[in-house]
Structure 1
Amino acid sequence: MKQNLKFIFFRGLAVIILLSFIQCNKVEDPGGLFLPKGFVSTVYVDGIEEKVRHMIVNDKGDLYVKLRRQGEDGAIAAIRDSNKDGVKDSLIKFGSYHMTQRGSYSTGIAIYKDYLYFSSELTVYRYKLDPDKLVPSGDPEIIFYDDHAHGSHEHMGKPIAIDDKGYIYIPFGSPNNACQNPKRTPTIPGEDPCPILKDHAGIWRFDAEKIGQTQKDGELYASGLRSIVALEWNA
């Protein structure tokens, strides 16, 4: 009986080791994804060191990627697949801010009327796109600047969306979670009415083609939103 148990034990152990070996050496699907039947995937680009936030594709299939922080080479990565095989052929970083970035909230990017819009945590910029070039030249224009004297605070990200009437939507995240004073303090109820709602915790809309705007130039579109991490216009 003991010999049978030993035989069963060692045979089972051998099977487990064999399965483990097979699992460790099998070829993974591209990107390590589990795909539905009929779907395939390829690794389009690999090797971007910075953390990636939002992305946008132009009519030619070029991909523009907003980086979370501005690196030595820029705040945006422009990627092109020249031979249309599903793998990038060129990657160029570009783009800069007019002032030092305060945190790691930079996120937004969009294309509207041949302009590439992008944002830091306080500013929305745009570059004029050249149809013959992957990377725009010249300095960016400043469409909007958050001029509040509040310094750096949580939920400062500026994701952006542009509608079909020429409005750009920009969020102003709440400086705290629930209108508490002081914030994030147990047993402290939120203030009611909440003074933050006057100029934060909401989305304002602006003229997408007007240069040099601040919050006073926009109009409140939606309120009561603590932290907006992404926007898209449902055309």
Structure 2
Amino acid sequence: MKKNILRYILPAALLAVSISLYALKADTGVTADADNAGLKLPAGFGALKVADLGAQARHIAVTPQGIIYVKLARPKDGKGILVLKEGTQGKAEVISSFANYGGTGMYIKDGYMYASSNKEVFRYKLNDKNEVINPNEPEKIITGLKMGREHETKSIVLDNAGNIYVNVGAYSNSCQEKDRQLGSMGIKGCPILDSAGGIWQFKANKLNQTYKDGVRYTTGLRNVVGLDWNQQNNQLFVMQHGRDQLHDIFPAMYTIKESSLLPAECMYALKKGDNAGWPYMYYDQIQHKKIMAPEYGGDGKKEAVGNFIDPAAAYPGHMAPNALLFYTGNMFPEKYRNGAFIAFHGSWNRAPEPQAGYFVVFQPFKNGKPFGDWEVFADNFSGSAAKTAAGRADHRPCGLAQGSDGSLYISDDSKGSIYRIVYKK
């Protein structure tokens, strides 16, 4: 009798296991690499390397059809946008390329793909499969943006009311009379802010706009590479790259150790007319204060005077936040819903202290605001702790995108790897 029961129970149990494994695969749609593509992740998560492009992959956009659009910092074989198509296992191949310009910005919204060079913003009409209809004839919607010898990239995002927001980075470290020179003081009134050092708002559907057609939405932002529109409270959030070289320029005021940690890399929640304070101040995440910049009369302790907004959150200095993404998917556990992922590209200017960054962190949110401590989510892009400390990372996370299934895509602008993170439980 027992043998007869086992005869029915065992196949049923095996079938249940098979169904369970199938459901796991169906949930993610892909299988993680055996080594999680070399990444260190929280329990329950897996990663695969989708592609290796051999080019500097900046921001990315992913469609429900498995098309990945990648903006390259510099054109490869004369083309600055790569189009990848995913197969059934999540791996992808380049199927086409277009656009004769490099840059960073990439965003899909309302049937168009938007992409930026370092001076202009274009848009491309998509068909019902989210394929670019005419890649060789984009519409130029913004032109004549200021570009200097540093912070030249133009990151972009759209709201829900037909507006596009463009970062115009300040072509300076701290608006000194002599940029990055020992003891050089700040230029009174900082003329750079007329056309850079802030976020400009334009219409998303109007062609050939220049500064006179747009609005300086916010000012006092040294450089923003990562930005996103928070759907939960319908507001623009950005990540600022904080200023450099406090010790190098003012060695009597700052130690090497202080200069390696300060100032904070700040997340700002922006409203029209806000001033984040660059170059006149910086945020000290250790003192939890807005501090007057030494170029403008500060001494490392004097609090800033002016109508400058507070950051929504602050992170250790010089880690270079290059992407911000609010997670709205269903694949990851509930704690991640409406929170923010931030790609920290990694530092170069902490020496002789160890360099830092080269990871993706998660910032919890509640009711549209940062809530609780941030945590490292995906690490080991650099390859090892020693490579991180030396600043010789194998890979540097730069762009973030959410797949239609809720998975998280990460681009690398060192070797051009594209990663995809899935939840396996």
Deviation at 1:229, TM superposition (A): 1.4
Is the aligned partner of 1:191 residue 2:187? yes
Aligned-partner Cα distance in 2 for 1:40–1:120: 34
- Output the amino acid matched with 1:156: E
Is the aligned partner of 1:71 residue 2:76? yes
- Indicate if the aligned counterparts of 1:123 and 1:146 stay in contact, CA closer than 8 A: yes
Q: Which residue of 2 aligns with 1:50?
A: 55
Is the aligned partner of 1:205 residue 2:201? yes
Name which structure has the greater RCO, CA cutoff 8 Å, separation 6+: 2
Which sections of structure 1, spanning at least 5 residues, go unmatched? Answer: 1-26
Is the aligned partner of 1:115 residue 2:118? no
Tell me the SS of whatever aligns to 1:36. coil
Deviation at 1:68, TM superposition (A): 1.0
Aligned-partner Cα distance in 1 for 2:119–2:192: 18
- Indicate if the aligned counterparts of 2:124 and 2:132 stay in contact, CA closer than 8 A: no
* TM norm structure 2: 0.44
Deviation at 1:146, TM superposition (A): 2.0
Per-residue CA shift, 1:172-216, capped at 9, x if unaligned?
111211111222221111122222212211111000111101111
Question: Which runs of 4 or more aligned residues in structure 1 lie more than 3 Å from their structure 2 counterparts after TM superposition?
Answer: 132-136
Aligned pairs (5 A) from 1:136-155: 136-137=133-134, 138-146=136-144, 148=146, 152-155=148-151
Aligned pairs (5 A) from 1:1-235: 29-46=35-52, 48-72=53-77, 74-83=79-88, 85-88=89-92, 90-97=93-100, 106-132=103-129, 134-137=131-134, 138-146=136-144, 148=146, 152-235=148-231
- Output the amino acid matched with 1:67: L
Per-residue CA shift, 1:100-133, capped at 9, x if unaligned?
x6xx7x1000012111110111111111112247
* TM norm structure 1: 0.77
Aligned-partner Cα distance in 2 for 1:41–1:178: 39
State the structure with more CA Rg: 1
Aligned-partner Cα distance in 1 for 2:34–2:113: 36
- Output the amino acid matched with 1:111: I
Aligned residues: 198
Tell me the SS of whatever aligns to 1:59. coil
- Indicate if the aligned counterparts of 1:74 and 1:93 stay in contact, CA closer than 8 A: no
Aligned-partner Cα distance in 1 for 2:46–2:36: 8
- Indicate if the aligned counterparts of 1:75 and 1:93 stay in contact, CA closer than 8 A: no
Amino-acid identity (%)? 37
- Indicate if the aligned counterparts of 1:74 and 1:96 stay in contact, CA closer than 8 A: yes
Q: Note closer, same or farther for the CA distance 1:188–1:225 as it changes in structure 2 (3 Å cut).
A: same
- Output the amino acid matched with 2:104: T
- Indicate if the aligned counterparts of 2:111 and 2:130 stay in contact, CA closer than 8 A: no
Aligned-partner Cα distance in 1 for 2:151–2:202: 20
Q: Which residue of 1 aligns with 2:346?
A: none
Q: Which residue of 2 aligns with 1:18?
A: none
- Indicate if the aligned counterparts of 2:120 and 2:145 stay in contact, CA closer than 8 A: no
